[in-house]
Chains A and B, each alone.
Chain A
């Protein structure tokens, strides 16, 4: 119940295309859903996050779509650029200590 399932494991998208990464969860106690971006040799960094009381959040080319009834959320990267090539982790958080459960990660490659 504490898992966050992420797919696909890897993704190749042409420059200018839309990248879509999907995640699913079981625990309805989760109250915060962040996406982290990680470049090789670096620590993860927060990209965008959403709370379950909204269905969509957009920041620039990055959008989270959230479906509370289906317990699913996804990251959409519009007009994907080579600089977006990185590993993306979805995550879910709950509780006062805001412990984060991470998905297994998606390695995204944007081809020029």
Chain B
């Protein structure tokens, strides 16, 4: 099992450009999450999904859109990138509702720089 994978690993954008970050998991997890990590601020939830075809806003959703067309994939889009979106982006997934399955599994991250 590859676990949670993220594509690309690194990306540099110019202000106003768009891009899509891809997250894939092969663990048959129901829930998937997108976070951003900034120095001194921990990880903040951008959007999440509780199943195929569903999405919901997290703590910092502005400027981002997401889609979950397939259970194994969760896409994060930036329509018009801004320097404030320079960050490391992490995707995570979780099995389901049962209390013993609260653990989120994280991908390796995507380092995005917006100039």
Contact = CB atoms under 8 A, between A and B. Distances in A.
Partners in one complex: yes
Interface of B: 4, 31, 33, 40-45, 48, 50, 56, 58-59, 90, 92, 94, 97, 99, 102-109
B109 to A, nearest CB: 5
B104 A100 contact: yes
Interface string A39-54: 0011111100100000
Contact of A89 (B31, B43, B109): B43
A43 B97 contact: no
B84 to A, nearest CB: 18
A11 to B, nearest CB: 15
A92 B19 CA distance: 31
Contacts of A43: 4, 90, 92, 106-109
B42 A102 contact: yes
A49 B107 contact: no
Of residues A32, A42, A44, A104, which shows the largest number of chain B Cβ atoms within 10 Å of its Cβ?
Answer: A44
B102 A32 contact: yes
15 contacts: A32-B102, A42-B108, A43-B90, A44-B90, A44-B106, A45-B106, A46-B105, A96-B97, A97-B31, A97-B50, A97-B56, A98-B94, A98-B102, A100-B45, A102-B43
B5 to A, nearest CB: 11
Nearest to B45: A99
Contacts of B108: 41-43
Contact of B44 (A49, A96, A102): A102
Contact of B102 (A49, A101, A104, A105): A49
A55 interface: no
What are the 5 closest A-B residue pairs judged by CB atoms, nearest first? A43-B106, A102-B42, A102-B43, A104-B42, A46-B103
Contacts of A89: 42-43
